């Protein structure tokens, strides 16, 4: 029983104990732990900042000093004598180049105005198709005497018709 009294006495003594103030500052402890974990050994960034700061200050001083300086413009006229042009170099009289023989234009059959108009219409249609695609082609006229629909225009048929060169008129043959 004396053992029970001693347990009760211990319990009562523990209940009456009040915790004392802590001597450890938690925030300061965590701050110092962070500082110790990352030692600062590099001086690169502080040195770079100092150099750039000095450059900014020196450029500002130069800018202010330059705006206070006056610019003096002097025009000086100098007369010079132009040198005489060198005499032209003539080839020796025996070294003349022979003249090329005249070219003969092949005779061709006359082209009618209808043929040239058809060529222009073909070129215009080809340009429209290349620019706007198959939607630019006009609808085919219906065949006379039948109600049959024309075959649909496909990319292959359009490419085949665009690949055919137009007939070249005499006027265009001259420039070829």
Asked whether residue 97 carries a pLDDT value surpassing 80, the answer given is: no
Nearest Cα neighbor of 150 from 138, 165, 162 is 138
Q: Give pLDDT tens digits for 111-165.
A: 566 667 777 888 888 888 788 777 766 676 666 655 666 667 777 777 666 656 5
Query: How many angstroms separate the CA atoms of 11 and 3, rounded?
Result: 12
- In the structure encoding, which two tokens stand for residue 18, read together? 């009040």
Residue 157 counted as domain residue: yes
Number of domains in the chain: 1
Whether residue 166 lies inside any domain: the answer is yes
The whole domain housing 165 covers 113-138+151-174
What SS3 class is residue 41? coil
Q: Is 117 part of a structural domain of the chain?
A: yes
pLDDT tens for residues 9-47?
A: 888 888 888 888 888 888 999 999 988 888 777 888 889
Residue 119 in any domain: the answer is: yes
pTM: 0.24
In a domain, 122, yes or no: yes
H helices present in 38-112, as ranges:
44-68
């Amino acid at each position: 029983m004396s053992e029970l009294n001693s347990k009760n006495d211990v319990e009562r003594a523990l209940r009456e104990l009040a915790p004392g103030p802590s001597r450890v500052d938690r925030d300061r402890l965590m701050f110092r732990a962070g500082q110790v974990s990352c030692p600062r050994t590099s001086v690169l960034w502080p040195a770079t900042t100092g150099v750039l700061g000095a450059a900014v200050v020196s450029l500002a001083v130069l800018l202010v000093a330059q705006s206070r300086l006056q610019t003096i413009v002097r025009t000086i006229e100098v007369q010079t004598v132009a040198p005489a042009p060198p005499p032209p170099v003539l080839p020796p009289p025996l070294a003349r180049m022979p003249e090329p023989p005249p070219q003969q234009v092949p005779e061709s059959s006359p082209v009618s105005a209808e043929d040239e108009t058809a060529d222009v219409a073909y070129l215009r249609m080809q340009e429209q198709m290349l620019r706007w695609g198959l939607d630019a082609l006009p609808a085919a006229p219906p065949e006379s005497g039948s109600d049959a629909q024309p075959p649909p225009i496909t990319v292959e048929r359009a490419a085949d018709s665009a690949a055919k060169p137009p007939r070249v008129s005499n006027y265009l043959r001259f420039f070829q």
